[in-house]
Amino acid sequence: MNAYRRAVRDITDARRARQDAGLELWRNALAGNAALRDAFADYQTQAVNKAKGEPDSLDAARSKLKAEFVRAGLKREQIEPPPQCNKCGDTGIVNGKYCGCVIRRAINADRENLTLPLIDFDDAQKTAPKSMTAVYDAAHDYMRTYPDGKPFFMIAGSSGTGKTVLAAAIACAFLKSGRSAVTVSAFEFVRRAKDYHTQFAIDDYRDLFSPMLDADILCIDDLGTETMLKNITLEYMYTVVNERWLRKKYTVVTTNLTPDALIKRYGEAIFSRLCDKSLANSFMIKASNKRL
């Protein structure tokens, strides 16, 4: 079973368990409380009378039942627990598609979707080199404006500047606020793309590839170190970058490459998405003197 369907099952199972617990609570309350039991029986009788068109005192019976309910210390939301997701009512499906709650759960439940070591954003900011101060401030704004800000956040610069730490910290902040996150190295990205490209079993490829399209935030670390596979690397890079842009999802990319090298390696279409001022916050970090 793929991760998405497993998440639907978990969500519907949990809903049923909460409903069963509510019903159990109600049964116990009735069993141990004669006044409540009588009020409920009368309410049912009056409801039947009303349905048959016979004289009834349903309103009075309802008031009495409510009073007994309150006196017993019961709460409506305990007996009939509301769904945890208002969008799908805990069915996991909206208009024939997976609900956001399913996607979030499926992505975040799979440890393979977080290949960078996660670090708390505030902690990362405190220990970041001075050369990163402005980038952290921009990252803060970037996260605050989700999903309406510029979708891409590009951090270029030589190694040892703390690019990867920032990317991981952004992913961590998304997770903390209840969103879904995927962090992959560019190398891992291509591995997944290759598996997806060559696999036939539809169920399994979803687990590998869909999270990179669906996650609220995707971090691709160290762009430029991945293998250039014909028909795969550029094609899937473009698909993911473009699709995420269309879906208003955020994407963070780190790289050691200069803008010239990026455009040469990936071409105009990818480069313009990742680095265009209207779509991307892009930064070129120089290693701090301390590190040098």
Residues interacting with Zn ion, by CB under 5 A? 85, 87-88, 99, 101
Nearer to Zn ion, 11 or 169 (CB): 11
Half-sphere exposure (CA, 13 Å, Cβ side) for 209? 21
Nearer to Zn ion, 16 or 87 (CB): 87
| Joined tokens for residue 20 | 């069963």
Minimum distance from CB of 83 to Zn ion (Å)? 8
Minimum distance from CB of 87 to Zn ion (Å)? 5
Cβ–Cβ under 8 Å, residues 139 and 153: yes
Nearer to Zn ion, 100 or 259 (CB): 100
| Joined tokens for residue 172 | 């961590």
Burial class from Cβ neighbours inside 10 Å (0-12, 13-18, 19+) for residue 232 reads middle
| Joined tokens for residue 32 | 């141990």
Cβ–Cβ under 8 Å, residues 85 and 11: yes
Question: What end-to-end distance do the CA atoms of the chain give, in Å?
Answer: 50
| Joined tokens for residue 2 | 């793929």
Cα–Cα distance between 18 and 32 in angstroms, integer? 21
Minimum distance from CB of 108 to Zn ion (Å)? 14
Pairing of strands 93-94, 97-98: antiparallel
Nearer to Zn ion, 102 or 285 (CB): 102
Cα–Cα distance between 153 and 142 in angstroms, integer? 8
Nearer to Zn ion, 12 or 258 (CB): 12
Minimum distance from CB of 101 to Zn ion (Å)? 3
Nearer to Zn ion, 14 or 261 (CB): 14
Nearer to Zn ion, 7 or 165 (CB): 7
Cα–Cα distance between 45 and 194 in angstroms, integer? 66
Minimum distance from CB of 287 to Zn ion (Å)? 45
Cα–Cα distance between 85 and 244 in angstroms, integer? 24
Minimum distance from CB of 214 to Zn ion (Å)? 14
Burial class from Cβ neighbours inside 10 Å (0-12, 13-18, 19+) for residue 229 reads middle
Minimum distance from CB of 145 to Zn ion (Å)? 24
Residue 89: C-alpha distances to residues 75, 85, 102, 130, 231 (Å):
20, 5, 12, 47, 42
